[in-house]
């Protein structure tokens, strides 16, 4: 028998969302600016700019994918709850 606690899934999704928000707020590109500013016009400066923009973009994409994971968890919890109510109603036990 499958027993799933949809409330736990929803709570976990909220925690994942909070972590994703925190990750999205981290300034991963900022530390590169000191090096880039110190070596203006050099290949190292250009490399810092390239790396910082790509690292910043990668972190934002990762945070968005965590939000997607949380959305999927909430959707699964809703589906489990709806299915449980439908099956209970179909067999005359009524919704829980």
Predicted local distance difference test score (pLDDT) of residue 57? 96
Q: Are 7 and 77 in contact (CB under 8 A)?
A: yes
Is the torsion defined by CA of 61, 4, 85, 10 positive or negative?
negative
Tens of pLDDT, residue by residue over 33-86, are 888 888 888 998 899 999 999 999 999 999 999 999 999 999 999 998 888 888
Residue ranges of the alpha helices (H) in the chain? 6-25, 30-38, 43-90
- Number of other CB atoms surrounding residue 36 within 10 Å: 20
Between 18 and 37, name the one with better pLDDT.
Answer: 18
What is the Cα Rg of the chain in Å? 23
pTM: 0.78
Name residues whose C-beta falls within 8 Å of residue 18's C-beta, 6 or more positions apart in sequence: none
Q: Are 20 and 70 in contact (CB under 8 A)?
A: yes
């Amino acid at each position: 028998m499958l027993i799933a606690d949809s409330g736990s899934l929803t709570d976990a999704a909220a925690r994942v969302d909070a972590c994703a928000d925190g990750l999205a707020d981290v300034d991963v590109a900022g530390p590169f600016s000191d090096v880039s500013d110190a070596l203006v016009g050099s290949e190292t400066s250009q490399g810092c700019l390239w790396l910082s923009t790509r690292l910043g973009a990668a972190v934002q994409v990762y945070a968005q994918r965590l939000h997607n994971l949380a959305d999927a968890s909430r959707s699964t919890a809703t589906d489990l709850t709806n299915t449980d109510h439908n099956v209970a109603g179909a067999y005359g036990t009524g919704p829980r």
